Amino acid sequence: MDTITITGEHLTMEDVAAVAAGASASLAPSAVAAMERSWQGVQTLLERGEIAYGITTGFGAFKGRIIPGHEVAALQHNLVLSHAAGVGPLLDEATVRATIVVRANTLAQGYSGIRPRTVQSLLDLLDRGIVPCIPAHGSLGASGDLAPLAHLACVLIGEGEATYRGERLPGGDALRRAGLEPVVLGAKEGLALINGTAVTTALGALATLRAENLTRAADITGMLSLESLRGTPAAFDPRIHRLRPHPRQVEAAAYARRLLAGSDFLRPHDPRDIQDAYSLRCIPQVHGAVRDTVAYARWALEIELNAVTDNPLIFFDEDENPVVLSGGNFHAEPVGLALDYLKLGITDLGNISERRAARLVDESLSNGLPPFLTRHGGLESGFMIAQYTAAALASQNKVLAHPSTADTIPTSANTEDHVSMAANAAHHARQVVENVEYIVAIELLLAAQGVDFRREQLGLAARLGKGTAVAYSLVREIVPFLEHDEMLAPKIAAIAELVTGGTLVAAVEAAL
């Protein structure tokens, strides 16, 4: 993999995904210079004896406690240790690596008062394969992701825990085995490492990339279901969508037409059956609106990836004197709202997919397919319970879709009296995306089975659409037609991998 260059201004979601998957990162010379200037500014403030939040004062409700100069380093060390209060399962390796590169990028702009070599120590963790153990829960999304980022910073100073070459170790031991030395934090450095939105942003970026792939996979799967159900493409006529020109609705309808081009499985005009159910007819309207939520998440997150999100910040006046400004860039509301919107959209993508799956197994709605897509109904249950699983996941999503940012609980003796809960939004968004990946996989599995039955009715020469034919072939390469009852879980998992890994979308779009 290529090495990602960290400038503080040009990080993309694709860069984050590359680092999460194993790429390394290096600091641009411009970033090193900017951070060195900021660090020297902090030293000037200390020499002058100026009072600056988090540098010569305590934190949160302790903002009025002045810290003497000889205890400034201890202040930062204590901050990191005391804030490492996370609980729950550990973040996965990909998320931790993504978090590291996001945090390094925001520090690289040179407003945080941290030494370049301290930020380089973050990147060394990536290069040497050290994965800090970060409990998933504990962030309020203001002041950023304090608890989880403190667990990351603990490893830098030789504390906490990390995995190295598959073994979970004390942080100091992991550093030593990798040939690294613990960092001795200077003034402002502990605060710079833990005050910001890196965990939420990393989770959100990875979830959004999955959601982008998922919306395309749902389009493809929905069209295969349409063919399996002998539906009509009339609702995708461009004349309809020109009259309601939401861009992504128009795009979804155009994509549907391309996927279905040349299909023999579609129903010709029938005056007694003019239109399909909403879950088929309204795919462009629903999937297009879902794409809007994903596009908004990308927009917000790519701003956040290249934003300075800690506090306080170091500026310089016209005479090059350092100036400390306290603000609230750590407040993750912009990201939290975007991820709440994303998870709501993806929840509804799952809702409509589950309804198509339900039609495929219901003989009263499937336009001639056998009940539960089996030849031996009664003796065998076919795909009955696959739809149950999709329904269970769709129901769980309706709980997860509740907006996290609608909640706030005051903390730090009411000094921090409004928080974003954006990390909760990020965790829920990722879970919703994963659930819908499974729902779409179940629909895809059922649609392929339905196509086989439909082909028996239409004749073996009947052709699927240009794009859906590729999707069907991919499914059949790994899961054959089910002639008799078998365990469905391994088959669902195999098709889910086809969806989540991007293979389905890549192959179909290559054919188009």
**DSSP letter (8 states) at residue 509:** H
Which residues face 4 on adjacent strands?
A: 25
Q: How far is CA 305 from CA 12, 140, 192, 258, in A?
A: 7, 19, 16, 35
Q: How far is CA 469 from CA 126, 196, 300, 448, in A?
A: 41, 47, 36, 10
**DSSP letter (8 states) at residue 277:** -
Q: For the CA atoms of the chain, what is the radius of gyration? A: 27
Task: Give the whole-angstrom CA distance, residue 333 versus residue 426.
Answer: 12
User: Tokens for 397?
Assistant: 């999503």
Q: Which amino acid is at 261?
A: A
Torsion of the alpha carbons at 89, 490, 225 and 440, rounded to the nearest 10: 10
341 counts as catalytic: no
Residues in the chain: 512
User: Tokens for 418?
Assistant: 């409004």
Catalytic residue among 53, 111, 255, 472: 53
Helices H / strands E in the chain, number of each: 19, 9
Q: How far is CA 199 from CA 302, 304, 358, 488, in A?
A: 14, 12, 37, 35
Q: What φ, ψ does residue 5 adopt, rounded to 5°?
A: -90, 125
Q: Which residues are catalytic?
A: 53
